[in-house]
Structure 1
Amino acid sequence: IALAPRGAIVDAINRYYGLDEGESADSILQEFTDTAIDFTVTEDDSGGDEEGVDENSAPVVRLVHLMISEAVQLRASDIHIEPFENRVRIRYRIDGVLVERDNPPRRMLGAIISRVKILSKLDIAERRRTQDGRIKITVGEKQLDLRVSVIPTNHGQSIVMRLLDKDNIRVGVRQLGLSEKNYSEFQNLMRRPNGIILVTGPTGSGKTTTLYAALNELNRPDRKIITAEDPVEYYLAGINQTEVRHSIGLDFARIIKAMLRQAPNIILVGEMRDMETASMGIQASLTGHLVFSTLHTNDAPSAVTRMVDMGVPGYLVASSVVAVLGQRLVRTICKRCKTQVKMSEAALAEAKIPPEIAARATFAKGKGCGYCQKKGYRGRMGIYELMVVSSKVREMMFQGKSTVQIAEQAISEGMTTLYCDGIRKVLTGHTTLEEVYRVAKTTEQDQKALPIVFEEFMKKEVQA
């Protein structure tokens, strides 16, 4: 007799038999029975006024529970409930891509919205304003936080629930997918006593995961770490986390100012949104603190000019920023249905991959199976560009040089661009060209950085 937790058994069933695309939560329950998914709201959900909710609420309660349970089973990061004139659309964001699921009847929209609002302690009578809430739940063995956002639209209220799985923050820097060179340089940066390390990229590019991975490694009893976040997405043991509250005037700048009186070693600022926040972050770094923060820019070199555009003097940016890590997320090829393929000459020419490199590469794609929902991809990994601010780059920053000039200098010192790091992962069979094209645009600077990737690749092949 073998014993295992219920959640582990369900995960194993999904891992080895998968779910066919189009299966609904109802069909999942018919196969595994109602006890296969143990959904428990870990906070009292009796609050709220249920007026206006369909009197036959049991199906609605079950539907909302099943929706969240199914999203967890499918590893979704978000649940989108969108009202339209004649229908309601339910979509899950899985590995960064939205997938439509079975949609409930339009008449159930009001009851579904009310049920989600009750769980997240929101005002179900308010339909004209945006609202934000949070739900703590347990699904099987997993404990999750759901961040709920409600906005009014032309055809009713639209809801997005962000699923925050605590298991996702237990990764270290090694698991992020950095190349050996970038990993070594990032480790050296984390040992610095002061300076600003910026992580850049659009929403959903994994910036929070990268920052939390760094804090996890730096979190030791002899260090004090304080964060300012908007909002706090995950709770980290041993770290002081402060949440921005605009309603009472508690913004990033004010929190940073108070942080400095707490004698921290390391500070994390959720985002440098304006000149005041950036100036306070710079002041913290110049007074002996290691500061981590994020910016929304297309690449690492653009972070410098973005801060200057905010109104921060260039000499302060040059004096404080020690590195910028740009990143994106690409889907990884499903290991169950992965198969090697031969790349066409046209595709190789477009990707600027020479024949001698292609001959040694392991190009692959996923055929599609139940394990990956017939998509050919399962899971994601990062592609990165790490710009370490050398003395030459710092001098160019002092002189107010352009982003292109700074990028070219960084590449001449060994930086590989986002696109080039994506090509590195295509050559080793981790992802596909289509995925790299989806998230990273090619630039003129890529032509100068690609030889670095090809040289590293050939060295590894020779050593192997």
Structure 2
Amino acid sequence: EQLGFVKEHVTIVENMFKEPFGIVLLTGPTGSGKSTTLYAGIRRLNLLEKNVITVEEPIEYDIPLLRQTQVNEKAGYTFASAIRYFLRHDPDVILVGEIRDEETASTAVTASTTGHMVLSTLHTNSAVGAISRLKDLGVRPFLIADSLVGVLSQRLVRKVCNACKESYIPSDMEKEYLKDPAIETLYRGKGCQICNNTGYFGRTLVYELLTVNRELSTLIEKEADPSLISERATSIGGHINMPDIMTEKVKQGITTYEEAVRILGSIRQQ
């Protein structure tokens, strides 16, 4: 919750991380807090009972009870070779810093289908886009369908400075954008010494969450169009979309209409 997750969504994410095997992917641009979320999830596991191994470049957090290793691609110690090596140590959970090439993708997915939970990141613009990205990296659709537990796509948005927060009456354009003609109040920061006159202080997450069930696995295996996968996921409650999360945070005064346009507009353009 401290990262910015809605309370009921925390349980969904935790349950994904606690699955006995499969792969959970976090997506988003550089600097969107993916590593922070991964490690927050790792910390919620019972590290005394689970054998957790991380393969990173570089090691971003030093956490007791984890077996952490840093890849050195110049020396031939790649993500893929590190995963293969540590599979001999019977890990319960393997955190892979990033899936960026075909060999890493293949090795990570293979590990996830042989009794291990794999947590990793991808550079894609959406949760459903992670499926296409894995296919682009040579992973066969039936393996994606068999292994994928869920995808969390996230962005960081600036929070309204509480020291100079003020309310205002939203314009018709803002009401239309937020799809709420009845909304009477929004919030922004006037600017003060605390926030260096920006009106913002701190950041929070907005996110999209896709959880994969049997029906979605079948669609993935059949190489259904991403829009159909997203549509079906939404209809069965397995898809939480980013615009809804952003809209609620704007209405609650956590962030601003301008931040919503900045983040959601950039995603739509991509």
Q: TM-score range by the shorter chain?
A: over 0.9
Counterpart contact for 1:323–1:389, Cα < 8 Å = yes
Which residue in the other structure is 2:230 paired with? 407
Partner of residue 114 from structure 2, selected from 287, 294, 302: 287
Aligned-residue RMSD, C-alpha: 1.5
Alignment of 1:246-257 (within 5 A): 246-257=73-84
Partner of residue 207 from structure 2, selected from 363, 384, 387: 384
TM-score normalised to structure 1 length: 0.56
Aligned length: 267
Deviation at 1:392, TM superposition (A): 1.5
Q: Distance in 2 between matches of 1:247 and 1:276?
A: 16
Alignment of 1:85-100 (within 5 A): none
Counterpart contact for 1:328–1:418, Cα < 8 Å = no
Q: Distance in 2 between matches of 1:425 and 1:282?
A: 35
SS in 1 for 2:49: coil
1:322-364, Cα deviation, whole Å (9 max, x unpaired): 1000000000000100111111112211x142223x14xx521
1:102-159, Cα deviation, whole Å (9 max, x unpaired): xxxxxxxxxxxxxxxxxxxxxxxxxxxxxxxxxxxxxxxxxxxxxxxxxxxxxxxxxx
Deviation at 1:263, TM superposition (A): 1.3
SS in 1 for 2:36: helix
Percentage of pairs with the same residue: 42
Alignment of 1:384-463 (within 5 A): 384-414=207-237, 415-441=239-265
Question: Residues 258 and 439 (structure 1 numbering): CA distance in 2 closer, same or farther, change over 3 Å?
Answer: same
Which residue in the other structure is 1:319 paired with? 146
SS in 2 for 1:434: helix
Which residue in the other structure is 2:195 paired with? 372
Which residue in the other structure is 2:181 paired with? 355
Which residue in the other structure is 1:81 paired with? none
Deviation at 1:380, TM superposition (A): 0.2
SS in 2 for 1:441: helix
Q: Distance in 2 between matches of 1:377 and 1:387?
A: 30
Partner of residue 103 from structure 2, selected from 276, 300, 315: 276
Which residue in the other structure is 1:10 paired with? none
Amino acid at match of 1:327: Q
Which residue in the other structure is 2:163 paired with? 336
Partner of residue 301 from structure 1, selected from 107, 118, 128: 128
Deviation at 1:191, TM superposition (A): 2.1
Deviation at 1:411, TM superposition (A): 1.7
Amino acid at match of 1:416: I
Q: Distance in 1 between matches of 2:86 and 2:265?
A: 38
Aligned: 1:213 with 2:37: no
SS in 2 for 1:267: strand
Amino acid at match of 1:439: I
Q: Distance in 1 between matches of 2:73 and 2:172?
A: 55
Structure 2 unaligned blocks of 5 or more: none
Deviation at 1:219, TM superposition (A): 4.7
Question: Residues 401 and 441 (structure 1 numbering): CA distance in 2 closer, same or farther, change over 3 Å?
Answer: farther
Q: Distance in 1 between matches of 2:86 and 2:264?
A: 36
Deviation at 1:441, TM superposition (A): 3.2
Q: Distance in 2 between matches of 1:419 and 1:363?
A: 17
Which residue in the other structure is 2:91 paired with? 264
SS in 1 for 2:163: coil
Deviation at 1:181, TM superposition (A): 3.1
1:272-314, Cα deviation, whole Å (9 max, x unpaired): 1112111111111111111100000001000001100111100
Deviation at 1:221, TM superposition (A): 1.0
SS in 1 for 2:9: helix
Amino acid at match of 1:393: L
Higher RCO (Cα < 8 Å, 6 or more apart) = 2
Q: Distance in 1 between matches of 2:243 and 2:124?
A: 15
Partner of residue 191 from structure 1, selected from 4, 15, 18: 18
